[in-house]
Amino acid sequence: MATVDYSVQGGLATIRFDDGKANVLNLAALEQLGAAFDRAEEEARCVLWTGRAGKFCAGFDLKVFSAGGADAAALLRGGAKLAARLYSFKLPIVVGCTGHALGMGALMLLAADLRIGVDGPFKIGLPEVTIGMAMPRFGSILAASRLAVNYQDRAVCCAEIFTPSSAKAAGFLDHVCSTAELYERLEEAGKQLLSLDLSAHHQTKLSFRRESLAALQESIAEVVFQ
């Protein structure tokens, strides 16, 4: 079964990430997500991205990092490239955060335009420094761009983990709703964004995020797995 499911209807592309487990990002998942966003770019006017029930994305596959070597380096660089691509994507991206979002999963929230999370006993945050991994520069750039100033050090340097409600205050999420309401809220948000002029949206996004986008592109060239 594919990890990433794609469909499009009425201008809304829906990308659902579900590996049947914790929703970790490995090289195959990154490839499938990239292909889904390729299709959305050609076929849709707005992207809705969700995970599986209780889990949006647990971040990078740590088994790959533990093994080291070329695959580990490729995975880290691939995640950075996808995040930078989404941060500058020509279509609006609405994430339905269906549960836990940790590490690279939380950074993907920061790369999207609008983030709607479900309420519940879920963990959202950046635990890198608790597992012996320095935050990559691209992650720090996204955090500085999207998180509330008084939460940035807490999230990045101190690895504070948030509930959906406190993640909204921090800047990982824009709205929080019940699980039962999520898909209705996603569709409503997507339909509202269909009214955007996509050229104006993309030009404004590139202009508004110009400095952080330039820093992101520089940071990708510096990505080294250690």
pLDDT in tens, 176-194: 999 999 999 999 999 999 9
**CATH code of the domain covering residue 188:** 3.90.226.10
DSSP, collapsed to helix, strand or coil, labels residue 124 as strand
Question: Which pLDDT band, with edges at 50, 70 and 90, does 152 fall under?
Answer: very high
Bridge partners, residue 25, by sequence: 60
Q: Give the residue with greater pLDDT, 205 vs 66.
A: 205
User: Into how many domains does the chain fold?
Assistant: 1
Handedness of CA 21, 123, 50, 225 (dihedral sign): negative
Instruction: Tell me if 25 is assigned to some domain.
Output: yes
Q: Which domain holds residue 99?
A: 4-221
Check residue 77 and give its pLDDT.
Answer: 93
Interval 154-164 mean pLDDT: 98
Is residue 105 within 8 A of residue 57, CB to CB? The reply is yes
Predicted model pTM: 0.96
Instruction: Tell me if 185 is assigned to some domain.
Output: yes
Instruction: Tell me if 226 is assigned to some domain.
Output: no
